[in-house]
Amino acid sequence: MYNRKITKLMLLFFAIFLAAKSIYAFDLTDIKKRGVIRHLGVPYANFVTGAGDGFSVDLVKLFAKYINVKYEFVKTDWKHVIPDLIGKKIEVKGNQVKIIGDSPIKGDIIATGLTVLDWRKKLVSYSSPVFPTQIWLISRSDSKLTPIKPTGDISKDILAVLLKLRGMSVLNVPATCLDASLYGIKEYGAKVIDFNKNLNELAPAVINGKADATLLDVPDALVALEKFPGFIKVIGPLSKRQVMACAFRKDAAELKRTFEEFLDKIKKDGTYIKLVKKYYPAVLDYYPDFFGYGRKGDR
C-alpha cells in the first residue's frame, strides 16, 4: 500500500514535470517539436493590421515557413507584450523596469514595431534592426505650433521642438517608446496627458482636440499622414534615430540565431525590401541609408 502511494506520487510529479517542460519549451528545437511558432503582436500601424496581414505578420509567416512550422498569431497589447513573452509581470517607470511577479508565457517571438529601448534590453534579446524609427511631434494642421526648419543637426532640431512646448498639452503613452518622460517634455513646460487607448487612436485624438499635440513614431506618423491628409502636420523630431527589432527570450539563443540567418537571407534576395515597399513606401524617402540607398542624415 505504501509502495503504491509512493509510485503514484512519483508518477504525478513526473507528469507535472513533463507538463511544465511542455508549457515552457520555447527554443527552436522545442518549437519544431510543437510544430508551431506563436507570434506576439499588437494591432498597430501597418505592422499588424488586424486583418491577418501587416509587415510583422508577413515577416513571421515567412520565418515560420523557413523553419518548417505552422504560424499562430497571438494578439496582445503594449502593457502585456513583454510579459507574454518572458512569463514575468513588470512595472515600468521611465527607463527603469522591475519584475513584480509571474505571468503565463503566451508566445515565442515579438514582432510588432517594437522599438529598442534600454529598459527592454534588460528583459529580452533583440534581433538585428528590422525598421528605422524616430519620435516626432504631431499636431493638428491648424495648430499654432509651426514646423521647425531643419538645421542638419539633430540635437538642435530636437531643442527647437522642445522650446515650442511650453503650455502645450501633449498625449503620452507610459511604458512605451511614446513615454514623454524619455524625452524631457515636462521639463520644457508641456502639460502631459496620459493616453490609455490603442496607439492607432493618437492621431484621431489630436484631430478631435483631445490635446494640442502627440508623440508618434515614424511608421505610425507615416500611416496617419496618409490616412488623414490635410488634418495633421509634423512639427519636428523629439529623438535621435531609433530602431525597431523583433524580440526573443534571453535563453532562446538558437531561435534568435536562426531568425538572424533568415533575416539576412530575405535582405539579400529582395524579399525584405518588397515588404517595406508594400506597407511603408514613404519610409524610403526618410531613411534611405537604412535600406541601402545612400545617406541623407536624420530628419
| pLDDT per position as a tens digit, 238-290 | 999 999 999 999 999 999 999 999 999 999 999 999 999 999 999 999 899 99
Give domain status of residue 91, yes or no: yes
CATH number at residue 275: 3.40.190.10
Shared domain check, 233 and 258: no
d(CA 170, CA 194): 9
Give domain status of residue 23, yes or no: yes
pLDDT average, residue stretch 209-236? 96
Shared domain check, 178 and 115: no
Provide the sign of the torsion angle of the four alpha carbons 55, 113, 147, 138, taken in this order.
positive
Give domain status of residue 295, yes or no: no
Shared domain check, 98 and 109: yes
Give domain status of residue 294, yes or no: no
Shared domain check, 271 and 215: no
Count of structural domains within the chain: 2
Q: What are phi and psi of 74, to 5 degrees?
A: -120, 105
Shared domain check, 163 and 52: no
Q: How confident is the model at residue 296 (pLDDT cuts 50, 70, 90)?
A: very low
Give domain status of residue 291, yes or no: no
Shared domain check, 249 and 127: yes
Residue 59: per-residue pLDDT: 98
Shared domain check, 259 and 181: no
Q: How confident is the model at residue 25 (pLDDT cuts 50, 70, 90)?
A: low
- 115 secondary structure, DSSP code: B
In the predicted structure, residue 13 carries a pLDDT above the cut 80: no
Domain containing residue 227: 135-240
Q: Is the pTM of this model over 0.85?
A: yes
% of residues, the chain, pLDDT over 70: 90
| pLDDT per position as a tens digit, 157-196 | 999 999 999 999 999 999 999 999 999 999 999 999 999 8
For residue 19 the three cell numbers come to 507538463
| pLDDT per position as a tens digit, 83-123 | 999 999 999 998 899 999 999 999 999 999 999 999 999 99
Shared domain check, 227 and 186: yes
